[in-house]
Amino acid sequence: MKHPLRSLARLVVVLGALVALPVQGAERGAAPLPVEARGAIPRAVFEAWLARGPQYLLSQVVPVPVTRDKRFLGFRLSRWFPAHPEVTEGAVRQGDVVLRINGRAVERPDQFLYVWKQLPGAATVLIEGARDGAPLKVTLTIVDEPATPPAPEAAPSTP
């Protein structure tokens, strides 16, 4: 079985070989206003993603390194869970650039794996980065789906 860090390292090397993409809107004159967004992910969906491993996450978001002047800025999400667009209610979008998750940088594979290992049981996930050149802060709440109340019992029929 392949070691997940080795697979992740290969992915980062391959992605790093791609053409560097500038952050959208970074060259505009005035500093853009920060973007804050909130969303929710059902716990069952979140746990299913975690159970599939970091390779599944990376296949669903396809992170592309973003650099400017040979300096790493973050990973642009070239996809965002195409089979689950309703999951975050639009809080995270394709094209967002991720710099930190839960306050931790995710530039290197070991940093990403550290964050990954902290996610089980999380109540929230904070994603910091950029959207169209503006600072971005997304708070995803992991929600338990409401329990379905039991159906009322039918009254026994009398003969």
- At 95-123, the pLDDT tens digits run 999 999 999 999 999 999 999 999 999 99
- Predicted local distance difference test score (pLDDT) of residue 157: 59
Q: Which two tokens stand for residue 52?
A: 């599939």
pLDDT in tens, 70-79: 999 899 999 8
Distances (CA, A) of 78 to 4, 6, 30, 84, 159: 22, 22, 26, 15, 67
Domains of the chain: 34-143 (2.30.42.10)
- What is the rounded CA–CA span in Å between residue 43 and residue 37? 19
Q: Which residue has the tokens 């853009």?
A: 32
Q: How far is Cα 48 from Cα 50, in angstroms, rounded to an integer?
A: 5
104-105 and 124-131 beta bridge pairing: unpaired
Beta bridge partners of residue 140, listed in sequence order = 39, 125
CA dihedral 53, 22, 88, 140 (to 10 degrees): 80
Residue 29: pLDDT band with limits 50, 70, 90: low
Q: Are 47 and 40 in contact (CB under 8 A)?
A: no
Q: What are phi and psi of 55, to 5 degrees?
A: -60, -35
| pTM for the structure as a whole | 0.70
pLDDT digits (tens, 9 = 90+) for 31-40: 789 999 999 8
